[in-house]
Structure 1
Amino acid sequence: MKDDTLPLHFQHWFPQYGPTFQRFINGPCRSVFAAYINQDAPNSCNYVGCLSGRVVHCLLSQATESTKANMAAAAVLLGLLPTTLSLIGSNTVETGLLALRRPLLAGLLAAGTPAVAPMRMFDYDDPVELMSRSSPLPLSVGLPGCNLKTMAALVLVAEYLVAAAAVANLAHLSYLLSIQAVCSFSSETAFHPALWASFALLLHAWGAFTVRLRVAVREEGWDSPSSSAPDGLGWFRARLYGVGQRLSRLFGNEFQTCVYGGDGFRLELKIKDKSSLFIFCTWVTSIATVSHIIYGTLIFSSILFVSTSDAMQIVARFVASTVICRVILVFEITGMRQRIGALTDNSAGHMCPEYLKGGCKVDVRGLDGRRSVDGDRVTAWTMNTI
C-alpha cells in the first residue's frame, strides 16, 4: 500500500550519523529506498507506512549495536524534553495576562515556547492571585547616558527581536526534526514535531481567551470610546470615532512597556465573575496541557536516526528559546504588577484608592480581599473569596 504523504524522509540527516546512513541508502538499502521515493509498493506491502517502514527496517538492520544504543540514549534524552520544557516555560494564565495589554508580544512569546507549564487536573491559577505574587526580577534596568524614553525604546525593540529569534529557532528545529528524523510510530508522516510545537500556540490562545473571561486590564483614567466621543456626531461617525480610539489604544498598549511607563502610569485591574464558561475553559486548559505533554513525550521518545550528541544540541536550542521567552514574559508581568493602582469589582463597582503610604491594608468591598502596601509598592495582596 502506498504512503499517503510525500516521500520526505531518508534524504537529509543529522550530522553525526548522516554519512553512515547515507552510505546504507546508496548501498544495501538502495532498492527499498527507490521503492519509497517512487511510491512503488509491492504486493506484500499492504498497510499504511509500509514503504517507509521497510527503509527504517533496512537501515536499522545495517546499523551496529553501538549505533543503536547511542540512538536509544538520544531517544531517552529527547523523551524527557517536553516535561523539562513544561517546567521551565510559562503557563497560559501568564501569557493571557500579557495578552490583555500586548497581544502581539504575547503571541510571539507563545510561539517561541514549545511547551506549556502544567496545571493540576481541574485546577487553575487565578489571574488575580497571580498578579499578587512578589516580583522575582528587579525593574531598575538602565544604561549610562540613556533617558527613560530611549531606554524604553531599546527594551521594546530588543523584546520583539529576541522573541522573533526564539520563534525562528523553534521553527527551524521543528523542520529539522520533521525532515531529518523519523518517528518510529508514524514513519510515513513528517509533521508530528511541528504539530506539537504549533499546538502550544493554540493552548496559549485558549488560555488568553480564558483570562479575558476573568479579568480586564486598562490604563487608569482612560474612558471608553463611547463616553469620550465629542457631542454632535452622528451614529456612524461616532462608531468610526470609537473604532479609531480603540485602535489607537491597542497600538499604544502594544508598544509601551509597563516598566518604563513613567511615574504617573497606573493600570486598573477589573475582576469579573466566575462564569460557567470560565470554569469550563479552565478544565479544558488543564486537560489539554497534560495531553500536550503526553503527545510530545510520545513523539520525542520515538525519534530515530539522531545521536546523543545531536540530541544534546536539540535540547539546548529548545531550552534556549523557552528560557528567553520566559524571561521576557516575567519582565513584563513584573511591570504589570508594579503598575496596578486600582482594583475594580465588576459586581460591586468599587475601586481601591491609589497606592497608600505607611504599610496600610485596603479592604475591597464585595471581594473580601486586601493588599498590603509598603511605601509606594504593593508587597502582598491576597484575595480570600471571589
Structure 2
Amino acid sequence: MRYPGRIAIFSLLFLTSLVNADHGSYPYANQFRYWYPQSGTIFEQIKNDHCFDKYFTYLSRNQSIVNIDIIGGGDKYSVLTQPVIDCILNHTSDYIKNGMTSAQVLLGIMPTALALLGPSTVEMSMLANVARRPLLALTLSAESPSVYFSRAFEYSEPHKILALHKLRMRQWRPPNLSSELLISGAEYAIAVGALANIAVINWQLGVGTICAFWTDGIFAPTLWACLGIIVHILGTVVLRMRLCGWRGRGEAPGAFIKEFSPDNTRPPPSRATRIWEWIQGIPTRLSGIAKTEFIPSAAERFDMRIKEFVESKLFLFSAWALSMFTIFHVIFGTLLFASTTFIGTLDALVIIGRYTASAAACRIVLMYELPGLQDSDLSDGMQGKRGDLVTVRTHVTAPI
C-alpha cells in the first residue's frame, strides 16, 4: 500500500471531531450517575443529600445560569462539573480520599506496565506488512492500548525479529484449510473479546469517574486508546519505508521481484503517476489481503518474500518521530489515569486486571503469528531453506 498515511490522517480528523464534540454542548449528562462499587453508594448518597441542587444544574446543561468559580479552579469547560465535584469531595471522608489517592497511584503506573506487556510498533507492523493480516493487526492494536517503547531514536531491525533461533521449539503448522480457518477463528475470537473488554472499560471509566484535567469529558480513556491505534498505524507506515513483503502460494509475482530488484534502474515515476498507480492497484491489493487475512502465518501452504530497503532520511526522521510519539502516548496515559477521581483501590485493581488480560491476549496471538513468520519460507526470490531469512538491501526508494 503506497499511501497508507491517509488512514492516519482520517483517524486524526476523527479524533479531532471527537474532542471538539466533547468540549462543546454535549447533549447528554452521563457523569455522576454511575459509580464504581467500592464507594459508589457513598458518593450517590452525598450527591442526593448535599449536592442535588448543583447536580440538577449540571443536568440542565445551561451554563448561563452558573458563575465560573475561578478561585475554586473552574473554567468555561468545567463550569457545570466543578461545583458538583467540589461539593461531593467536601462531604467525603479523608479515609475515602486516601483510598482514591492510592487508586490514582496504581492507575498512573498502569500505562507503563501495559507498555512492557504490549506489542511494539515493529512487531505489529510485521503482522500487517509481512504476514499481510492488517485487519488482525488493527484489532490487536486496539485491544492493547499502551505501546511498547524502547530508547528514544532506536529502531528494531526487522530481520532480527524474524531471525530463526535454532534452539527454539518449532510450533505446529496447520496443514490444510480447515485447520487454518479454525486457528484463525480462534485468534479473532480472542481479539474481538479482548477488544470488547477494552471498549467497556473505557466507557465505564468515562462515565463512572472524573478526569481532573478534563472534567466535562467522558471520552478521555477512549481517546487514549485511539491514539494507541494511531501509533501502530504510523508504525506500519514507517516500516513500509523499510521493507516490502509478499505472502502467498508458489512463486512471488514477477512485478514484486522486478519492482524491487537491485537491477531495476528505471527512473522513479512522477508523483501523479504514483498516485494513479496506487488507485489502480487498490482492487489487486484488497484481493491479495483477502487471500491471507484469515490464514495464520504458520500455514504450511503459504510462503513469504521480503525486500528490505536501504534506510533513507525520511525513514530515519519518521522512526525517530514515532519513538517520541510513543513515549508521549505513555506519558499522556499516565497523566490521564493518575488524574482519575471517585474510584477506590479495589476498583483500580480490577481495572488493571482487565486491561492486563486484554494486553496479554494480544501478546499471545502475536507470539503465535511472529514465530509462524519465522517458520515460513522467507527469501528475496532466491532459493533458501525453510525458516532462513534472505533479503536484499537495495537502493530503490521504498514507495509509500
Q: Quick check: 1:82 aligned with 2:111?
A: yes
DSSP-derived class of the 2:30 partner: coil
Which residue does 1:9 correspond to in 2? 31
Change (3 A) 1:44 1:299: closer
Query: In 1, distance between residues paired with 2:357 and 2:318?
Result: 30
Q: Is the 8 A contact 1:114 1:196 kept in 2?
A: yes
DSSP-derived class of the 1:27 partner: helix
DSSP-derived class of the 1:285 partner: helix
Query: In 1, distance between residues paired with 2:55 and 2:198?
Result: 30
Percent pairwise identity: 30
The AA in structure 2 aligned to 1:66 is: Y
Which residue does 1:152 correspond to in 2? 180
Query: In 2, distance between residues paired with 1:104 and 1:362?
Result: 25
Query: In 2, distance between residues paired with 1:284 and 1:164?
Result: 30
Query: In 2, distance between residues paired with 1:362 and 1:14?
Result: 51
Per-residue CA deviation, residues 152-171 of structure 1 (Å, 9 max, x unaligned), is: 22101111111111111111
Query: In 1, distance between residues paired with 2:36 and 2:282?
Result: 51
Q: Is the 8 A contact 1:86 1:115 kept in 2?
A: yes
Q: Is the 8 A contact 2:199 2:222 kept in 1?
A: yes
Query: In 2, distance between residues paired with 1:174 and 1:222?
Result: 43
Query: In 2, distance between residues paired with 1:310 and 1:50?
Result: 28
Q: Quick check: 1:221 aligned with 2:251?
A: yes
Per-residue deviation at 1:249? 2.0
User: Which of 350, 354, 360 is equivalent to 1:317?
Assistant: 354
The AA in structure 1 aligned to 2:211 is: C
Q: Is the 8 A contact 1:82 1:297 kept in 2?
A: yes
Q: Quick check: 1:25 aligned with 2:50?
A: no
Written as runs of structure 1 = structure 2, the 5 A alignment for 1:194-343 is 194-219=222-247, 221-224=251-254, 245-262=284-301, 265-342=302-379
Which residue does 2:272 correspond to in 1? none
Q: Is the 8 A contact 1:33 1:55 kept in 2?
A: yes
Q: Is the 8 A contact 1:226 1:242 kept in 2?
A: no
Structure of greater Rg: 1
Q: Is the 8 A contact 1:5 1:189 kept in 2?
A: no
Per-residue deviation at 1:356? 7.9
DSSP-derived class of the 2:368 partner: helix
Deviates more, 1:129-138 or 1:77-86: 129-138
The AA in structure 2 aligned to 1:314 is: I
DSSP-derived class of the 2:80 partner: helix
Q: Is the 8 A contact 1:9 1:179 kept in 2?
A: yes
Per-residue deviation at 1:274? 1.0
The AA in structure 2 aligned to 1:139 is: Q
Per-residue deviation at 1:186? 2.0
Query: In 2, distance between residues paired with 1:120 and 1:169?
Result: 30
Unaligned regions of 5+ residues in structure 2, if any? 1-22, 259-277, 395-400
Which residue does 1:68 correspond to in 2? 97
Query: In 2, distance between residues paired with 1:51 and 1:97?
Result: 47
Query: In 1, distance between residues paired with 2:279 and 2:242?
Result: 28
TM-score normalised according to structure 1 size:
0.80
DSSP-derived class of the 1:355 partner: coil
DSSP-derived class of the 1:14 partner: coil
Written as runs of structure 1 = structure 2, the 5 A alignment for 1:47-126 is 47-48=75-76, 49-100=78-129, 101-126=132-157
Q: Is the 8 A contact 1:88 1:322 kept in 2?
A: yes
Query: In 1, distance between residues paired with 2:49 and 2:355?
Result: 35
Change (3 A) 1:205 1:312: same
Q: Is the 8 A contact 1:87 1:117 kept in 2?
A: yes
Q: Aligned pair count?
A: 340
Change (3 A) 1:356 1:246: closer
The AA in structure 2 aligned to 1:105 is: L
Per-residue CA deviation, residues 13-61 of structure 1 (Å, 9 max, x unaligned), is: 1112111111111111111112222235433546221321111111111
Per-residue deviation at 1:273? 1.9
Change (3 A) 1:33 1:337: same
Query: In 2, distance between residues paired with 1:171 and 1:283?
Result: 30
User: Which of 150, 162, 179 is equivalent to 2:190?
Assistant: 162
Which residue does 1:42 correspond to in 2? 66
Which residue does 2:202 correspond to in 1? 174
Q: Is the 8 A contact 1:258 1:336 kept in 2?
A: yes
The AA in structure 1 aligned to 2:52 is: R
Which residue does 1:347 correspond to in 2? none
DSSP-derived class of the 1:339 partner: coil
* Structure showing the higher strand proportion among its residues: 1
The AA in structure 2 aligned to 1:28 is: H
Change (3 A) 1:252 1:365: closer
DSSP-derived class of the 2:375 partner: helix
Change (3 A) 1:243 1:205: closer
Change (3 A) 1:298 1:5: farther
Per-residue deviation at 1:353? 2.8
Change (3 A) 1:185 1:281: same
Q: Is the 8 A contact 2:384 2:390 kept in 1?
A: no
User: Which of 181, 187, 190 is equivalent to 2:215?
Assistant: 187
Query: In 2, distance between residues paired with 1:212 and 1:32?
Result: 54
CA-based RMSD of the aligned residues comes to 2.9
Change (3 A) 1:315 1:258: same
